Structure 1
């Protein structure tokens, strides 16, 4: 019973890590992508930074966070976010910008404001690209959340590393299986949400 409670507690910590980091990444990534529509310099800067963050090994990002912020839950959230941000920013920006401009001209001719054009024209056509980026970011976040156990984030990674250190395969697998279940749940839940949000007939072009 004590073992099950330990695994359950670690799984809850894992879910908190993944969902918190993913939510922050989605909000920040969509905001940056929208701002990038109106400034080529800003778009280039954001994409360059995101690509650099993606090019740096995950372990290095985790290691860099420690001297700057410390250890624990929130430093781990930042490390996960830095890795998960790129696919969201990139896919959202591509989805919002890769659109038939005759639709935008038509919207402007109808008296729509810039925000209304983004909300009613750009976003509906960008949803497939956005969800593609979010689903990829979710899988990344779940895997990186395991690695952040080395900086005291808790979660299933702590049990996995303990199992590796002691060559205890059963202990390691007791955490690996819930991690896989969380990853599958993220994929299926986001796919279900995508089907509810994306209008029939829209396809993923990115």
Structure 2
């Protein structure tokens, strides 16, 4: 039987791993999506690389970190980040690009510069696609964080694997249930954030 203190400690480690990685992924992906609007070569490289990494099985991405970066928290962050980049980059780029050209023409007509167009026109209109990508990436990061327990990241994955190895259902559930609850929390929290920042948001 796993103690409550152990579960809480593992859950906290898992939350830190997932949210730090997701924050880094967002910080990298959104500027890349904006930059890709201005360079077809960059768009090609970014999308091809992201698709290539996404095509590799998650466990293989985690495993390859060991010879490259060793074991521990940092390799786990890199492994999760590589898988989380694609949905954020791709969705954000699509959201930024698929803007009604008449809106851009109107914004230029009233004297808005490029930064203002991005800030007040492109980005708000891209929020639905962008947040869909972030939510998917967050759920993906949460699941891969379980796998990174194999390379010493800690978190709920350790408890889950202990349960699997020992054929112990109670131990397995002690790790799996908080992981499932975290996936729901990620989805709900970013949905709430989307509602806060999106002008004229209406819940369907």
TM-score over 0.5 for the alignment?
yes
Cα RMSD of the aligned pairs, angstroms, is 1.7
Deviation string 1:154-196 (CA, Å, 9 cap, x unpaired) is: 0000011111111111101011111111111111111111111
Q: Does 2:77 match 1:83?
A: no
Tell me what 1:155 maps to: 155
Long gaps (5+) in structure 2:
none
TM-score (norm 2): 0.96
Alignment match, 1:10: 10
Structure 1 runs of 4+ off > 6 angstroms?
none
1:27-62 CA distances to partner (integer Å, 9 max, x unpaired)? 111011000010011001100000001000001111
Counterpart residue number, 2:128: 128
Q: Distance in 1 between matches of 2:105 and 2:203?
A: 22
Once the two structures are TM-superposed, the CA of residue 109 in structure 1 deviates from its matched residue by: 2.1
TM superposition score normalised by structure 1? 0.95
Partner of 2:179: 179
Equivalent in the alignment of 1:48: 48
**Equivalent in the alignment of 2:58:** 58
Shift of 1:14: 0.3
Match of 2:200, SS state, is: coil
CA contact (8 A) 2:195 2:201 kept: no
